[in-house]
A and B are shown apart, each in its own frame.
Chain A
Amino acid sequence: DIVLTQSPALAVSLGQRATISCKTNQNVDYYGNSYMHWYQQKPGQQPKLLIYLASNLASGIPARFSGRGSGTDFTLTIDPVEADDTATYYCQQSRNLPFMNTFGAGTKLELK
């Protein structure tokens, strides 16, 4: 089974860069695409898509958010971090279908 590993938490200062990682134990690349996606979830809200296919910004998402990576190592970067960015960030793979073990456990972003 595919396993997605995220660090539980990250603390950064306002205006600084936040880098959130997601590592998989299997390659999620396929025919030139990396099937890795990122979501933001604020308390009491549903998840919101930020990044799809590793590096594509979802509609309406500010350019402060970016994604990169391939194979088994992926990162979500927020630069600069704003107060409104405090949330939990989840990665999701879709290389292995159906969607068993599709989500990481989430990284909670906090401000220092």
Chain B
Amino acid sequence: EVQLVETGGGLVQPGNSLKLSCATSGFTFSTAWMNWIRQTPGKRLEWLAQIEDKSNNYFISYLESVKGRFTISRDDSKSSVYLQMNNLKEEDTAIYYCTPLNNSGDYFDYWGQGVMVTVSS
């Protein structure tokens, strides 16, 4: 059974940092391209970042609006993916999900339960 468990969320003031973690099991993490997607309070789903696998040199892509503030990383030995978020803004308030990409069609067939991040003074 595929499991994805996001942790590390919480309430943070604007300008501060937070690091999200996603622990996974039930699939071959080392070859998975991992993604972070968030859902805003208005229920909009927004893709944030992707990190490919070792065979693709861990190539990374970001949504333009978070480039330079967010950093995705992975630890294949722990089957985990991370999202370091710096200089947080109120508009970063959302539920954050990690999900592996299904490369056969570039869709997301497994999702974690998500972790809430609230940016507010």
Contacts and interface: CB of A to CB of B under 8 A. Distances in A.
Nearest to B44: A105
A75 interface: no
For the residues of A in contact with B, the DSSP-based class is: loop
B45 A103 contact: yes
A53 B105 CA distance: 6
Measured as residues with beta carbon below 8 angstroms from the partner, the interface class of chain B is: 20 to 34
B107 A100 contact: no
Interface string B30-54: 0000010000000111110010000
A100 B109 contact: no
Interface string B93-121: 00001000010011111011110000000
Nearest to A95: B106
B107 to A, nearest CB: 4
Given A35-B106, A46-B97, A102 B47 contact: yes
Contacts of A47: 45, 97, 108, 111
Interface string A28-65: 00000101010100000111110011000011000000
A103 B47 CA distance: 8
Nearest to B60: A98
A52 B113 contact: no
B108 A97 contact: no
Nearest to A58: B109
B87 to A, nearest CB: 21
A21 interface: no
A22 to B, nearest CB: 13
Contact of B107 (A59, A92, A105): A92
A10 to B, nearest CB: 15
Nearest to A45: B113
Which 7 A-B pairs have CB atoms at the shortest separation, nearest pair first?
A94-B106, A99-B47, A98-B61, A46-B111, A103-B45, A37-B107, A49-B109
